[in-house]
Structures are given as structure tokens and as C-alpha cells.
Structure 1
């Protein structure tokens, strides 16, 4: 593969990832959210949460953030399949989708992305466990935000997300999110000079 072909393949993946900015997290429609956040918005905050959880759990924050950024990239091709639909549909594994997505990328890029997605999907390393917790914690936090906006049918998302958490830190942050107010940060403590 020529340098130009590899560059074109990398850019194709970049363009494809851009679709995630426009693709909605469809499960929220069942809760009555008319305009849910995009998959990219979810992935951004998942990466931020993952970085924080990693620092608190002793995992590699950069690795966890990368796993979080990539954890839903397959949804450009298979969409965000709601939990209820997974009872009736069979999708190929995310690792297969990812391999197809990055097939035209330069080998070091394809290898990096394929390995990260495989690690996330296996869920065995500390980084993958923390990244999965970040995904569930982001869903819980989003549900709390929607509840504060008047959507009162989000408890099942809160409950299922909380039940899926593995790390002690994620449980503590979930408790804090459930007890907190989404806009409490607007009233910060006084500055210490």
C-alpha cells in the first residue's frame, strides 16, 4: 500500500468517526428523551470519566481514555442498538467491525486501534475494566441529568448502570452523582489565594 493510499485510508476512518457526532444514543428515546446526546458526546465524557477513574484506581489514564474513545466507534456501521433490540438481533463482534473500519489505515494505526478494541471487548485488563466502568458511569450520570431535566423514566438506566460497575471508585462516583445536583458546579467554593 502506498503512502497516499494509507493516508486516504486513515482519513476515511476519520471521516467515518465524524458520523458519531450526528448519531444519537437511541436507547434514550424509550425514556422519552426527544433529542438525546450523540454517540460522540457520550464517548467524550466517557473518556474524561475513564481518565479520572484510572488515576484513582491506579490504571494508565491515557490507555483508558483511548479505550473509551474507541469503545463505540463501531456504531457508525451497526448503529446504537438499544438493549431491548439485542434480544432479537445478532451483530458481528465489535472487533470484526473495527478491523473492517481500519483495514485501509497504515498498519501501525490499524494495529493500535484493533488492539485497543480487542482489549476493551475482552474486559480483562485493569484498563479495560476501568474503561467499561467509565462507560456505565457516564450512562448513569446522563440519566441523572435527564432526570433533573424532568424525564422521570430513567431509573432503569441508573439501576442497570450501577449494577454493572466493578471498581470501588466507580461506585463512589455513582453514589456522589446520585446525591449531587448537575449544576452544583455553578456555585463554586471561594477562591483560595
Structure 2
């Protein structure tokens, strides 16, 4: 009987997180981006980026598996509270409170595994480890990379500049800084070509 009750909770957990495959990220919805990414899509690419850490670009020996775990849980609360942004009229304190309560509910459904997810979530929220700080870099980088992809798709250079302005100067890890520089270079090139072609 105990096993049935436990499995029932696990199924509830899986159905909750399954919502993230279908919930669109609020920032893109507000900007009227058609067919924009889901929360799960965002976390998926963040997770894949952790595999790109190597001995050459990871001088501080970040724990790649821990980075991956943090990337996969950092927005998990949004399966209950949704993607709350500064445009939603919710204070940062209230946002944190809502997400913390959601993570506690998620943790209760999955026992020891949930305790681990909650611990990683708090680590990310508090930015209390190098891995959490790297995950924050990934979060910001994926956002501007996605913004650039939408600008290219719509042939609208600089349309989503607010996302670049919001992250400027905030990246810390040298590997991500290098990727940011390359992204900026390609974005500048895209803008120049568009102007030359008379589409701007």
C-alpha cells in the first residue's frame, strides 16, 4: 500500500513537471514572439551547455554534473506558479515566496529526490556555489542567444535589445564570456548585413 501511495505521488510530480513542456516563457509572450520556446526547452539547452565544459575551458574545475542538475531544477517551481517576470506586477520578494512554496510542494511528492531538488534550487537562488553561478551565466546566455535567434528569424535586428541590456556585464565565467563575445560579434554582423541589404 505504501508503494502505491509513493508511486501516486511520483506520477503527480511527473505530470506537474510535464507542464513545463507546454508553458511558454513570459518574456517572449510579452514581446509577441510567435511560436516561442517553452520553459522546458530553455532548461534543456542550459543542461546541454554543461556538457561543453572541458579541462581547457573549465579552469576552476566546476562539477559538470552538479551544473547539469542545477540547470534542470532552477525553474522547476514554474510548473506551479508560472513564469513570473518583472512585468507581471509581482515583487521579487513575493516571487521568491511563491516559488519557494512550490518547490516545497514538489519536494514533498518525491521524498529524498525532492529534498535534493530543493537543495539545488536553494543553491541556485542564493548563488552559493561556483556551480550555481555558472548556471546563472547559462540562464542569461540562453536568453540572449534565444533573443538573437528570434531577431534573425524575424529579420529584425536589435528588436530584442532589452534582453541584451539586462544582462550586459553580468557574465562571470570565462567560457561563457567568450561565447557572449562571439554572439555579440555575430549580432553586429547580422545588423550590418541587414542595413546594407536595405531591410532595416
Could you state the TM-score of these two structures normalised by the residue count of structure 2?
Answer: 0.81
Question: 2:174 is matched with which residue?
Answer: 168
Range that drifts further, 163-172 or 64-73: 163-172
Q: Does 1:31 align with 2:31?
A: yes
Structure 2 gaps, min length 5: 188-200
CA displacement 1:125-172 (0-9 Å, x = unmatched): 011001111111100110111111124421110221333322222111
TM-score (norm 1): 0.84
Using the TM superposition, give the Cα deviation of residue 54 of structure 1 relative to its aligned residue in structure 2, in angstroms.
7.5
User: Which of structure 1's runs of 4+ aligned residues deviate more than 4 A?
Assistant: 86-89
Q: Distance in 1 between matches of 2:183 and 2:11?
A: 38
CA distance in 2, matches of 1:166, 1:34: 31
Between the two proteins, the alignment pairs up a number of residues equal to: 180
Residue 145 (structure 1) aligns with: 149
Unaligned runs of 5+ in 1: 182-193
Q: For residue 78 of structure 1, what is the aligned residue in structure 2?
A: 81
Determine the C-alpha separation between the residues in 2 that align with 1:144 and 1:121. 26
Mapped partners of 1:175, 1:111: distance in 2: 38
Match of 1:68 among 65, 68, 71: 71
What does 1:1-193 correspond to in 2, within 5 Å? 2-53=2-53, 56-57=57-58, 58-86=61-89, 90-91=94-95, 92-105=97-110, 107-150=111-154, 151-152=156-157, 153-180=159-186
Structure 2 distance, partners of 1:9, 1:163, is 43
- What corresponds to 2:198 in structure 1? none
Deviation at 1:84, TM superposition (A): 2.0
Task: Write the distance in 2 (CA, Å) between the matches of 1:54 and 1:166.
Answer: 17
Mapped partners of 1:54, 1:70: distance in 2:
22
